[in-house]
Amino acid sequence: MQDDSVYFDTHFDAAFETAGMSWLPWVGSAFRSSASRTVVLGESIYDYSKGNAEVRNRILGKESLRRRHLAHGIHEKHKSRYLRNFARAFFLKRKVGRAERELLWRQVVYLNLVPRMMKTLRDRPSEADYRDGWRQFLAMAELIEARRCVVYGLEAVKIGALRGSLAEGVLVKAERLPAIGKNQPLRLSLNIKGHPLEMLFIRHPSAFFRWDEWGVVLQQFLAAE
C-alpha cells in the first residue's frame, strides 16, 4: 500500500505553525516544483461533531484539513460535491479518475479562508472573519511564494474584505470577466512586495455549478503567463 505522505509536502509546516495558522494547509507534494504555484482557496470548516467532544477536537486539530482533503480529494472516500465539481472544471470532463485527482491535488495548495470553525452549516462568516482570513492568506501566499489563487465564492463582503485588507498599491488591476449565468468571475492582479499574485474568484463549486462553463474560465486563467 502506498504511503499517503507522498501526496503532500510538510516543508512549510514549521513556518505555518509560527504564523499561528488555525489549520495546516494541504500542500501538494509537487507544489514547490510547479511553475504556476497555485492555491485553491475554499471558505469554511464546519462543526459536524453533533456534540461529540472527541470528534470536535479532531476537527479543531492542526492536521484536520489535511486529513480530510486526503480522504475526500485523493481517496474519494466521501462524495464531496465541491471537490468533485472543481476537479471536473479543472479537467473539463465529468468523470475524473484516481490518477487525475492525484495529479491535481499534488500540484496545488488547498486551505479555507475563514480561520475559525463555523458552528453549523447555516452559520455564515462575518466581515471580520473574512478580514482575519485574508490577513492570514496574504501572509501565507508570501511565505510559499504563490503565483496564482482560485477563490471559491463571489460574495461582495468577501471581496470587499480583501480590498480593505490590502495596503496601498498592492492591487494592480481588477477585471470582471463575462458572466456565467448570473455570476461574473472576477480577476485581481496583486503585487505583494515585488511578487505578482493573480487571483480568480469563481462561483463556489458546491452547488449549481456549471463545471463545463467555469472550467473554460479556469483553464484560461491557469494557462495565462
Separation between Cα atoms, residue 90 and residue 216, nearest integer Å: 9
Query: Across residues 183-200, what is the average pLDDT?
Result: 96
pLDDT tens readout for residues 21-41: 999 999 999 999 999 999 999
The CATH number of whichever domain residue 9 belongs to comes to 3.40.470.10
* pLDDT range class, residue 2, cuts 50, 70, 90: low
Task: Tell me the residue range of the domain where 125 lies.
Answer: 4-223
Residue 122's pLDDT is: 84
Q: Which DSSP state fits 8?
A: B
Which are the contacts of 91, defined by CB distance < 8 A and separation ≥ 6? 100, 104, 215
Report the C-alpha gap between 22 and 120 in whole angstroms.
18
Report the distance separating Cα 151 and Cα 192, nearest Å: 17
pTM (predicted TM-score): 0.95
**Is residue 1 very low, low, confident or very high in pLDDT (cuts 50, 70, 90)?**
very low
Domain total of the chain: 1
